[in-house]
């Protein structure tokens, strides 16, 4: 076997459209990586050190997303998938710029347009993004493709909080918000090389919700809803929780998070190759159980080293679950044929309903007990993802 053939047997095939999508994802994802971990902390400190105010912000954003996804699909149908994704990215830039001006303007006047901007980005970007990945991915080596590109993305996402932590401590938040806005604009460039695809969204607005809550789609509702619910603990609660444990050091938060993310890069590629075999479902089920247990471990952390250990375990378990799950969901989408856009919209609505329910659960739970008990809710939601 020649060196070239060895390389071809190890690397999955990539076409121009697949590369265009992931190039854009990589560019704006680096900016999102700089902001994402620190945004709940920024909001926590900027909104009166109240975790409830942070939850209200995210609750409002995901309520808007859940109920406007079908309208986004109708816009996508009219302008095609490529233009929908391109037009979404200026909205993402506006969202980051809203936080850039957060401390020098009335907070409510800034948050409202910020919420509208991030909603516009989400409803125009995510449905066509998932449809394109399902269509342009190699169906025989889909998990390996996803593993390679997610490893590259995660390397960037690991570097991003490391860099952002030091920038925030030295210069404050403004630079990372401005930088993320610039990267969102630059991410439009690779998308111009994407093939224009049109999809016909056949559900009406209310039919979308009737279909999601019908008996035949209960797995979509429970499985993806649980996925969205579990995300909220990692997105909203965990950053604020570890910020306190790490003595409110932004650089320490960035270092620990980067170490956790870097540690899983090679494992992601290995799991991707395994998931292209016959054991995809078994890997997913086992990973779901391991990931669920990881939330209980996170309840027990009390030092920076324990944050790293719990996070590293969770990262490894998340890879064992996440890579086959990603491949599995794109196979499901691809198998829907003409109804791929309808299925993708149902998926997005289900995820957001799960997010809304979990955030409402946080508001109730935190009125009576400590923040660590939200990890129990995350463990339950994680276990329920296995119904997919």
Cβ contact 165:253 at 8 Å = yes
In this prediction, residue 4 carries a pLDDT of: 46
Cβ contact 104:68 at 8 Å = no
Average pLDDT over all residues of the chain: 85
Tell me which residue range forms the domain holding 299: 16-188+207-387
Distances (CA, A) of 251 to 176, 259, 268: 14, 12, 26
Question: Does the residue 315 lie in any domain?
Answer: yes
Question: Does the residue 7 lie in any domain?
Answer: no
Question: Does the residue 197 lie in any domain?
Answer: no
Give, to the nearest 10 degrees, the angle between helix 280-299 and helix 374-384.
170
Name the percent of the chain lying above pLDDT 70: 83
Question: Does the residue 107 lie in any domain?
Answer: yes
With DSSP H G I counted as helix, E B as strand and the rest as coil, what are the percentages for the chain, rounded to 5? 85, 0, 15
Cβ contact 63:356 at 8 Å = yes
State mean pLDDT over 289-311: 88
Residue where the block lists tokens 């009390």: 302
Say yes or no to pLDDT of 131 above 90: no
State mean pLDDT over 136-157: 65
Would you state the torsion angle of the CA atoms of residues 363, 215, 280, 18, taken in this order, to the nearest 10 degrees? -80
Quick one: which H or E segment has residue 241? helix 238-245
Say yes or no to pLDDT of 335 above 80: no
Residues 236-258 pLDDT 10s: 999 999 888 888 888 888 888 77
Banded model confidence at residue 329, pLDDT cuts 50, 70, 90: confident
Question: Does the residue 291 lie in any domain?
Answer: yes
Top-confidence residue, 177 or 156: 177
Task: Give the global pTM.
Answer: 0.89
Question: Does the residue 6 lie in any domain?
Answer: no
Residues 252-276 pLDDT 10s: 888 887 777 766 665 665 665 665 5
State mean pLDDT over 186-201: 89
The CATH number of whichever domain residue 115 belongs to comes to: 1.20.1250.20
In this prediction, residue 147 carries a pLDDT of: 64
Rounded-to-integer distance, Cα 2 and Cα 18, Å: 26
Q: How many domains does the chain have?
A: 1
Rounded-to-integer distance, Cα 341 and Cα 358, Å: 26
Banded model confidence at residue 321, pLDDT cuts 50, 70, 90: confident
State mean pLDDT over 202-224: 93
């Amino acid at each position: 076997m020649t060196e070239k053939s060895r390389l071809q047997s190890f690397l999955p095939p990539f076409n121009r459209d697949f590369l265009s999508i992931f190039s854009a994802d990589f560019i704006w994802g680096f900016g999102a990586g700089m902001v994402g971990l620190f945004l709940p902390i920024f909001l926590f400190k900027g909104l009166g050190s109240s975790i409830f105010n942070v939850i209200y912000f995210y609750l409002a954003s995901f309520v808007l997303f859940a109920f406007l996804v079908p309208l986004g699909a109708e816009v996508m149908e009219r302008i095609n998938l490529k233009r929908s994704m391109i037009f979404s990215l200026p909205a993402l830039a506006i969202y980051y710029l809203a936080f850039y001006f957060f401390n020098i303007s009335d907070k409510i006047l800034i948050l409202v347009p910020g919420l509208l901007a991030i909603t516009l980005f989400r409803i125009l970007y995510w449905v066509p993004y998932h449809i394109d990945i399902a269509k342009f991915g190699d169906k025989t080596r889909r998990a390996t493709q996803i593993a390679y590109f997610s490893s590259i993305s995660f390397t960037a996402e690991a570097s991003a909080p490391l860099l952002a932590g030091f920038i925030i401590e030295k210069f404050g938040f403004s630079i990372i918000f401005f930088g993320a806005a610039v990267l969102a604009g630059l991410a439009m460039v690779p998308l111009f090389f994407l093939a224009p695809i049109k999809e016909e969204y056949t559900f009406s607005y209310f039919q979308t919700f009737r279909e999601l809550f019908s008996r035949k789609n209960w797995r979509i509702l429970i499985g993806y809803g649980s996925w969205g619910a579990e995300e909220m603990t990692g997105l909203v609660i965990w950053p604020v929780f570890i910020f306190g444990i790490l003595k409110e050091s932004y650089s320490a938060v960035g270092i620990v998070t980067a170490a956790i993310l870097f540690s899983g890069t090679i494992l992601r590629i290995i799991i991707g190759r395994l998931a292209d075999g016959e054991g995809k479902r078994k890997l997913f089920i086992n990973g779901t159980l391991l990931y669920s247990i990881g939330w209980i471990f996170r309840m027990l952390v009390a030092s920076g080293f324990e944050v790293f250990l719990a996070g590293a375990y969770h990262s490894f378990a998340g890879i064992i679950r996440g890579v086959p799950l990603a491949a599995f969901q794109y196979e499901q989408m691809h198998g829907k044929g003409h109804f791929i856009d309808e299925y993708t919209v149902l998926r997005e609505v289900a995820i957001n309903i799960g997010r809304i329910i979990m955030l409402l659960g946080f508001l109730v739970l935190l009125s009576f007990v400590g923040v660590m008990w939200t990890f129990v809710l995350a463990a339950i939601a994680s276990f329920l993802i296995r119904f997919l």
